[in-house]
Amino acid sequence: MGCNSSRLERLPAVALCRERCKFLNEALRQSYALADAHVAHMESLKTLGPALLCFFAHFEDSGETNSPINETKPSLPKSPPPRSPSSSSSDSDAHVLLHSELEAEDVDKGFQVFPSFSEFSLADLRAATNGFSSDHIVSESGEKAPNVVFKGRLQNHNRRWIAVKRFSKLAWPDPKQFADEAWGVGNLRHHRLANLIGYCCDGDERILVAEYMPNDTLAKHLFHWENQTIGWNMRLRVALFITEALDYCSNKGYPLYHDLNAYRVLFDENGDPRLSCFGLIKNSRDGKSYSTNLAYTPPEYLRNGRVTPESVIYSFGTVLLDLLSGKHIPPNHALDMIRGKNIRLLMDSHLEGNFSTEEATVVFDLASQCLQYEPRERPKTQDLVTTLSPLQIKPDVPSYIMLGIPKREEAPPTPQHPLSPLGDACSRMDLTAIHQILLMTNYRDDEGSNELSFQEWTQQTRDMLEARKHGDLAFRDKNFRTSIECYSQFIDVGTMVSPTVYARRSLCYLLCDQPDAALRDAMQAQCVYPDWPTAFYMQAVALSKLNMNKDAADMLSEAAALEEKMQRGK
């Protein structure tokens, strides 16, 4: 069942705050009140009680709780040696490599656990990109060794969005060399990178697979924006995050980054800037490391055609100029503009003066150091981090707010079992559709759960049913706050228990942006009717709203399985 302690123990301890614990503790109190009022449900409540206690204890502040659950950090898995392309399988399931490179500091700070590196089958990637459809193309580049990046979605249980970079065979004729390059970069894992999560080396195909970043490139936000330009504080964050990515790669033995520019900086689902992992691998075995105009190319590369760690620093200097000016200005031209003049001549006019001259001067001075003609005079990656870190004056403001994009609300992945209309609506987080379905279902699932004797039929009961009636009318008319008030009057009397009322009030709470209370009601609906799929579906939506997506997916799968079981039993 959905309320077992093993599932609850998997919930992340940082996911809910103390206010949520208060809501759920209130749910526990009401559970036992319901038990007194309705003896027929006592056994299910007794079963649920310990699980709820376990749930509440798990989310209490670790400094003030006697929780029986010990919060543990995930252990860092060990990485097996790279696999050769000859070990490729035609099976649709990818071969999985767990990483030793998951940063301990990332785990301590509560950052995401990254997907493992996988060897994908060509069939998987064809399915993910609809046969490498031109409609899925994100970018194209290269002349002698053309490559195309597609947006795709894996068709397995997690339905992950991916970026698929497809090379021609001419770019990497030796499959082992390509696989070795991919496995090396695939071992890197950092929250400032759009990480490489797999590759495919099947026949003539040479493909890299990375995390997909849905919110465009830095170039789009700087040079081709529509509604608003990227703000100054966000530009400073971009600069710092790039340097943190470069510093991490350098410390892990990957100091070379090919053709660093504003198109290589991507924004993830939360609006955080990340550096594309594709730049850690050249576009071809013997290809150029720079595809941009020679005006932006490090001078030493023009002399000998080689990329060095210092070349990467030079390229970062050009990105700093982009951030300052909002234009892709050749370095020499930008330096000429500023010598002996006011830095405001260089600054992006679309900022409308909303920047600190002192901070801009620090950034320009750093760009000037990066663009030194002599490579040995350029700063190291750690120097870049040290210089840019003190400029971050709004570290607690989420990137999506600074970037001006909506907050992500991720729907739970689709379960393996077939979905009913309600299940499909919940998987899509379509609250309007859920509302219509609950209206149509009415109180059909409450039949037999509230048989009142003549003695129990009192004026109080009539008032309670009247409150439910008013709640139903408000629910029908989409007056959700009134509906909450009326349903609460019905529930507070306690003479009757109705899983449908809890489900409806749960949806009302969701529509009023109160996912904590919605989760409480959905759990109460399960209390009253332990095998009711609707209770599980509503928990899935509430958990997803609370960004507890793994648990939302588990709950959605349980609901679909219960629904399928009920259909077979008819």
Measured distance CA(442)–CA(288) in Å, rounded: 66
Q: Residue 133 corresponds to which amino acid?
A: S
Measured distance CA(503)–CA(507) in Å, rounded: 6
Residues near 562 by beta carbon (within 8 Å), at least 6 away in sequence: 531, 532, 533, 536
| CA-based nearest residue to 527, from 25, 31, 12 | 31
Any bridge partners for residue 211, and if so which?
162
3-state secondary structure 238-304: HHHHHHHHHHHHHHCCCCCCCCCCHHHEEECCCCCEEEEHHHHCCCCCCCCCCCCCHHHCCHHHHHH
| CA-based nearest residue to 434, from 361, 505, 372, 494 | 505
CB of 546 closer than 8 Å to CB of 431: no
Any bridge partners for residue 149, and if so which?
139, 165
43-82 exposure pattern, b = at least 16 Cβ within 10 A, e = fewer: ebbeebbebbbbbbebbbeeeeeebebeeeeeeeeebeeb
The DSSP code for 446 is G
* Burial environment of residue 519 by CB neighbours within 10 A (0 to 12, 13 to 18, 19 or more): buried
Could you tell me the CA-to-CA distances from 540 to 57, 363, 424, 535, 536 in Å, in that order? 21, 46, 12, 9, 6
CB of 498 closer than 8 Å to CB of 489: no
Measured distance CA(87)–CA(174) in Å, rounded: 15
Could you tell me the CA-to-CA distances from 413 to 313, 407, 546 in Å, in that order? 41, 18, 15
Query: How far is Cα of residue 432 from the mean position of the Cα atoms in its chain?
Result: 24
Measured distance CA(277)–CA(96) in Å, rounded: 19
Q: Tokens 């992500």 belong to which residue?
A: 408
332-352 exposure pattern, b = at least 16 Cβ within 10 A, e = fewer: eebbeebeeeeeeebbbeebe
Pair of tokens at residue 225: 């924006």
Q: Phi first, then psi: give them for residue 342, nearest 5 degrees.
A: -75, 135
Q: Tokens 């090396």 belong to which residue?
A: 184
The DSSP code for 62 is T
Judge whether 259 counts as a catalytic residue. Answer: yes
Torsion of CA 323, 327, 328, 334, to 10 degrees: -80
Which of the residues 202, 259, 272, 521 is marked catalytic?
259
Catalytic residues, by residue number, are 259
